[in-house]
Structure 1
Amino acid sequence: MSWPEYYEISDQCRTTTIDQGQLMALEKHQIVQCGVNYARQSFTVYRRNPNMHMLLFTCCGEGWLETPVRKWTLESGSVIHVPPGSANGFGITPKEHDADNETLDTENTWDIAWVMLSDNGEWAKTMPNEVTYSKTQCADMLRKTIDCLHQSMSLPYPVGNQLGDNLVEQIRLLVTNRLPTSMPISLQRLEKVFDRAKEQLHRQWSVAELAALHPCSEPHFHRLCQQYYCHSPIAHLTRLRMEYAARLLSATEWPIQHICESSGYPNPANFSTRFKKWSSLTPREFRQRFKY
C-alpha cells in the first residue's frame, strides 16, 4: 500500500501562514514558510514526498506524527523535525471516550508553531538527516514571534520592514537553538503554574487554585514545591511577589501604595513587613539605595 497524501481540516481550525512571497526577509535565512496552527476538532495532514525540512513546535494540547516505520506523541513543549523526503502524517490527538462512548475531554485542541526550511545552504549542513523529537523551551516563544511577524507586515515602511527583519532573525535563532530541556516533566509543569501566577500577582491565589493549574492535589503540589523549591507554594509565591516589587521600586516612580497592590498586598503595612523580612530594607530604603 502506498503512503497516502491528503489533508482534513475542520472549520474550527485557524491558521496563519507566512512565506517568501509575502516577506523577503525569510528568503535571506532560507526559511520557506512559517506559521501558527490553532487546530480544533479535527486536523490531519499526510504527505508522501516533502521537499523541505519541517519543524513542528507543540505549544498546547497534543498531537501525533507518524512515518511508515514509527509514530510519535507530540506533547506540549516539544519539537519534532522531519527531514526532506520522509513520508509523514500528523494531526491532532482525537478525544478519548469512556465505555459508554461519552467524551472525556472538554475540547480537542492542538496549538502548534511550524517552520519549513529549504534543503539547501546552511540547513542542509546543520539539520539532522532523520526524524528527531525532543522537549523544548522555545515552542510558545516561537508562536508569539510568528504572531508578531504577521502583525508587523501590516505596519508602514520602514518600521514594518525593520521589525520583520529582526523577528525573522529571532525565528532563525529559535530554530537553530531549539533548547531541549532536561527538566523533569513535573518541574516543567510547576514552572508553568508559577509563570501563570506571575501574570496576576495582584490576585489572591490559593494553593487549591495553583494546584488545579498543574493539575494535581494540594498535598502533592506542596510536595513538589518542597522538592524543587525547598519551600511551600505560598512561600514561593511570596518570593515572586517580592522580586516583582523590588523591580518596580528600583525601575519606576510608581507610588509605593500602587506597588503594594500590584504585588498582591492591599495593606501597605503588611507589604512593608514582608518586604523588609525579604530584603532587610523597607520599600522606601530599597528604592533610595537601588534606584536606577
Structure 2
Amino acid sequence: MFKESQNLCKSVMQLFSPKSEWSDKVYLSDECKERFLTNTDIPELGESGYFMAGLAELEAGYEIEREGIGIHTLLVTLEGSGVLITPEFVKELKPYSLTVLPAGLPYRFELHPDFTHWKMVWILLEKLPKWDDLISGGQAVMPFESSEQVWSLMNLLHLEINGRPAYRRLLISEVSRILARFEAKPYSSAIRVQTTFNDIEAQLHHDWTVKSIAERCFISQEQLNRVCKSLYGMSPRSKLIALRMDKATDLLRYEDWAIAMIAQRLGYNDPYNFTHRFRKYFGCSPREYRKRFREADPKTSAG
C-alpha cells in the first residue's frame, strides 16, 4: 500500500511542470488560517533583518505566485505538504524541509493536491548582506530538522505582541541562531554576532569579556571587532557598555531598587565602578539621573 501511495504521489507531481510565464497571484480558501508577525506589531523583527513572517495552517486551497519580489522568502514545513514550481524545477515541500527563495526570482507554491492540509512558517527577509550565505544556493528545498523549533519560537513571538521587547528579541535571536547554524559560510558570522549580543542583552549580569563573546560567536577577537564595527559602528566592548547603560536607565526608574542592586543586575559587582561608568557615559551619576527623571515625570516613577 505504501508503494501504491508513492506511485500515486509521483503521478500527481507529474501534473506540474516548470513555468516560463509568471504573474502575481494570491489565493486562500476560507478554511486557511494565518497569523501574521509584522514590523508594526513586533519592531524587533526589523532590527534583526526580518521584513515579516507568518504561521500558516492551510486547508482546501492555497496558491501564491510571484514574478520576483525584492525580499527573500523562506518556507519551513512542519506537517502536510506543498508544491514549489520555479523556472527550473518542481519539488514537493515535505515536512522538515526548508525552502529558500532568493529575491528577484519568480516562483509559485501551493497546497499539495494529495494532502488535506499544510502547516508551515513563512519568513520574509530583507535584502541584507547577513543573509547572503543563506540564499547563495539559489532557489532550493533542503532537509531541515529545526522545523518544530522555528514554529514554536514564532508562535511564542506572536503571543508576545504588545508584550516584552527584551523577550521578543530573545525569541528572534533564537530563530537567527538556528538559521546561522543551518549555514556556515562567511556572512553567517554577522548573524552569530548579532544573535550573541541579543542573548547578552538578556544576561547582562554575566561577566562578559571580548574573549568570551568571540568564543561564543566561533570567531577570533579581531574578526569580532571588525564585525561589530560593521554592524554597530563601535567595538565589542563599547557595544557591551552601551547595552548595560541603556538597561541602567530603565532600571533606575524603579525607586525601590538600590543603586547597588542595579549594579549587580548589570554585571558590576562594585557599585562605585558602576557609578563611575555611568557618569562617564551620561555625564551624571545614577542617583542624579534618577532624581532628574523623577522631577521630569513623577507619575511614571515606580515606587
Q: TM-score range by the shorter chain?
A: 0.5 to 0.7
Deviations 1:56-92 (A, max 9, x none): 0100001111112211110011111010111000011
| Cα gap change, 1:28 to 1:124, in 2 (>3 Å) | same
- Hey, what's the Cα distance between the residues in 1 that align with 2:25 and 2:154? 26
- Hey, what's the Cα distance between the residues in 2 that align with 1:19 and 1:151? 13
| Cα gap change, 1:24 to 1:84, in 2 (>3 Å) | same
**1:173 alignment partner, one of 165, 171, 177:** 177
Match of 1:50 in 2: 69
- Hey, what's the Cα distance between the residues in 1 that align with 2:30 and 2:133? 39
- Hey, what's the Cα distance between the residues in 2 that align with 1:179 and 1:78? 14
Quote how far apart the aligned CAs of 1:28 are.
Answer: 1.6
| Cα gap change, 1:121 to 1:179, in 2 (>3 Å) | closer
- Hey, what's the Cα distance between the residues in 2 that align with 1:176 and 1:111? 23
Match of 1:4 in 2: 23
Instruction: Give the root-mean-square deviation of aligned CA atoms.
Output: 1.9
- Hey, what's the Cα distance between the residues in 1 that align with 2:145 and 2:119? 15
Task: Confirm or deny: 8 A CA contact 2:49 2:125 kept in the other structure.
Answer: yes
Quote how far apart the aligned CAs of 1:126 are.
Answer: 4.7
| Cα gap change, 1:121 to 1:22, in 2 (>3 Å) | farther
Match of 2:150 in 1: 142
Task: Give, as a single letter, the amino acid of the residue that structure 2 aligns with 1:175.
Answer: L
Give the % identical residues.
18
Match of 2:84 in 1: 65
**2:113 alignment partner, one of 57, 77, 94:** 94
Three-state SS of the structure 2 residue aligned to 1:36 is strand
Deviations 1:142-199 (A, max 9, x none): 01110100101143xxxx112111011111112222389xxxxxxxxxxxxxxxxxxx
Match of 2:223 in 1: none
Three-state SS of the structure 1 residue aligned to 2:53 is strand
- Hey, what's the Cα distance between the residues in 2 that align with 1:126 and 1:178? 8
Task: Confirm or deny: 8 A CA contact 1:138 1:178 kept in the other structure.
Answer: no
Unaligned runs of 5+ in 1: 96-106, 181-292
**2:141 alignment partner, one of 110, 127, 133:** 133
**2:116 alignment partner, one of 86, 108, 121:** 108
Task: Confirm or deny: 8 A CA contact 2:79 2:118 kept in the other structure.
Answer: yes
Match of 1:41 in 2: 60
- Hey, what's the Cα distance between the residues in 1 that align with 2:165 and 2:74? 25
Match of 1:163 in 2: 167
- Hey, what's the Cα distance between the residues in 2 that align with 1:118 and 1:124? 10
Deviations 1:116-165 (A, max 9, x none): 1111231135531511211111111101110100101143xxxx112111
| Cα gap change, 1:133 to 1:126, in 2 (>3 Å) | closer
Task: Confirm or deny: 8 A CA contact 2:74 2:122 kept in the other structure.
Answer: yes
Aligned length: 165
- Hey, what's the Cα distance between the residues in 2 that align with 1:113 and 1:175? 13
- Hey, what's the Cα distance between the residues in 2 that align with 1:75 and 1:63? 7
Task: Confirm or deny: 8 A CA contact 2:60 2:117 kept in the other structure.
Answer: yes
Three-state SS of the structure 2 residue aligned to 1:94 is coil
Task: Give, as a single letter, the amino acid of the residue that structure 2 aligns with 1:2.
Answer: E
TM-score scaled by length of structure 2: 0.52
Three-state SS of the structure 2 residue aligned to 1:50 is coil
- Hey, what's the Cα distance between the residues in 1 that align with 2:78 and 2:182? 13
Unaligned runs of 5+ in 2: 1-19, 185-303
Quote how far apart the aligned CAs of 1:22 are.
Answer: 1.8
Task: Confirm or deny: 8 A CA contact 1:138 1:179 kept in the other structure.
Answer: no
Match of 1:123 in 2: 131
Three-state SS of the structure 2 residue aligned to 1:177 is helix
TM-score scaled by length of structure 1: 0.53
